[in-house]
Amino acid sequence: MVQQPGLAPMRVCIFSSESELCDILAVESQVAGYNVEQKFNAPQKLLEFISRSNTDYFVLIDIRRPHEHFVELISGLCASRPLAIVALVNPGGTLGRRAMEAGAQMFLADPVSAKDICAGFTVAALQYGKQARLESEIRQLQEKLAERKLIEKAKGILMDAASVTEDEAFRLIQRQSQHKRKPMAEIATSIISTTQLVQEASRVRER
């Protein structure tokens, strides 16, 4: 089941190219009160697991080796949806900033304890929630804009075909929506599709 946007995930995926460190991070995460779902030593395995799953996880990623392109791994994980990602970096340097730019919500300097991981995941969960809600609002606005464009196009078709005003065309669509108990965008889509079908039939007849 897909979790609602903004709700903090409680299950954790751990990535480190070093098996021993991966085990240590898993233990510390469990001590911090989180359930470790999977541990990964190969970036591609983590990407495949996350891409196949509908569950939103905390992801703790060891990116202390900049030459391994692990920052790009964060970008890949965030390509389709926001995730609560915490990056493990070396003290100092620019890896932490780069991780945040790539999509991580928080970074921790090695070595870390269960308390550090808990604090990192708490911040990541808050940032994840904000980002998920923002993206949900953006999607809703995009959907409303797309629906408005359909209605505007259908209004234009009715104005040309029936010689009605813009307001009259809108009310016609609105009445059909209420009568058929369907969204106005769906009524508009039907009008557009029917018009396109009639135009195509006319072109066939003229050949």
pTM: 0.65
Both structure tokens of 197 = 């079908």
Q: What does the DSSP 8-state code read for residue 5?
A: T
Same fold, 11-137 and 140-206: no
**Band (207; pLDDT cuts 50, 70, 90):** low
DSSP state of 111: S
Domain ranges of the chain: 11-137, 140-206
Task: Note whether 131 and 83 are within 8 A (CB).
Answer: no
Determine the Cα–Cα distance for residues 40 and 83; give it in Å rounded to an integer: 17
Closest CA to 99 of 118, 129, 132, 72: 72
pLDDT of residue 4: 38
* CB distance 26 to 52 below 8 Å: no
What topology is assigned to 140-206 in CATH? Answer: Arc Repressor Mutant, subunit A (1.10.10)
CATH fit for domain 11-137, picks 3.40.50.10470, 3.40.50.2300, 3.30.70.1110, 3.40.50.720? 3.40.50.2300
Tens of pLDDT, residues 1-21? 233 344 445 789 999 999 999
Work out whether the CA dihedral 51, 127, 96, 122 comes out positive or negative: negative
The DSSP code sequence of 69-91 is THHHHHHHHTSSS--EEEEEE-S
Residues 11-62 have pLDDT tens digits of 899 999 999 999 999 999 999 989 999 999 999 999 999 988 888 889 999 9
